[in-house]
């Protein structure tokens, strides 16, 4: 009796859900320690990093988050692969989506400014801690553009096709446009709106893939099984 194979869509959806859980679990845990706003003072930042070092589990949380980032790489590549036959040749938007997702993952893997500041705990000079804090936040705001590029490319194809409900495509486009706008006012709380919308969209899309098991236009499915 042969084993049932997991479809690419299902595997992609599982990777997306796992990535979100593994990434945001540690982020939420870290934020409970009183993370300062983007314009936090030197003393606030030094205290924040000092508290993070004192907890003893910060490194574990960061490692879990790094695994979540890798899971999201599987998600982004899987989505782009599923998108190619829908877009048709030349599948340039699918390629843009894959490269944008890869760029976002690369940022999540190499941006270790905060981890470096926490590593020395209270031994980190407050001025150096503030510098590391700003480097991390500015890098984070630049990463919004990679998120936006992925969402815009993917949403554009979804809106044109019948692969999934069009509201998923428009949701992606709205979050992408909002993230681009947020980069120009990155210290404003506005960024939370398109940023949250992006991840809600990712979750909704991942759940849809797990339940549906494919990402093929309904017209193609009807012609194949009709």
Q: What percent of the chain has pLDDT over 90?
A: 50
Task: Say whether 111 sits in a helix, a strand or coil.
Answer: coil
For 127, half-sphere exposure in the C-beta direction (CA atoms, 13 angstrom radius) is 0
- Extract the tokens encoding 28: 């939420």
Q: Where are the domains positioned within the chain?
A: 8-212
Least confident among 16-20, 101-105, 188-192, 213-217: 213-217
User: Each residue of 164-178: pLDDT tens digit?
Assistant: 888 999 999 999 999
pLDDT at 216: 55
Q: How far apart are CA 54 and CA 50, in angstroms?
A: 6
Would you place residue 213 in the very low, low, confident or very high pLDDT band (cuts 50, 70, 90)? Answer: low
pTM of the entire predicted model = 0.85
pLDDT in tens, 88-144: 889 999 999 999 999 999 998 888 888 877 777 677 788 888 998 999 899 999 999
């Amino acid at each position: 009796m042969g084993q049932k194979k997991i479809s690419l869509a299902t595997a992609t959806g599982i990777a997306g859900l796992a990535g979100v859980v593994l990434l945001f679990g540690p982020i939420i845990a870290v934020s409970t320690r009183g993370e300062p706003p983007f314009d936090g003072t030197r003393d606030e930042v030094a205290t924040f990093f000092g508290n993070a070092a004192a907890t003893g589990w910060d490194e574990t949380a960061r490692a879990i988050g790094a695994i979540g980032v890798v899971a999201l790489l599987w998600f982004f590549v899987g989505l782009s692969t599923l998108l190619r036959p829908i877009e048709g040749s030349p599948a340039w938007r699918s390629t843009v989506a894959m490269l944008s997702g890869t760029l976002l993952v690369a940022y999540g893997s190499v941006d270790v400014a905060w981890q470096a500041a926490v590593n020395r705990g209270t031994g980190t000079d407050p001025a150096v801690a503030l510098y590391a804090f700003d480097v991390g936040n500015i890098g984070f705001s630049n990463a919004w553009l990679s998120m936006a590029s992925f969402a815009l490319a993917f949403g554009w194809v979804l809106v044109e096709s019948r692969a999934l409900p069009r509201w998923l495509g428009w949701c992606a486009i709205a979050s992408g446009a909002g993230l681009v706008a947020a980069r120009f006012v990155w210290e404003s709380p506005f960024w939370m709106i398109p940023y949250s919308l992006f991840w809600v969209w990712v979750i909704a899309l991942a759940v849809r893939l797990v339940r549906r098991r494919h990402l093929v236009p309904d017209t193609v499915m009807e012609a194949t099984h009709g």
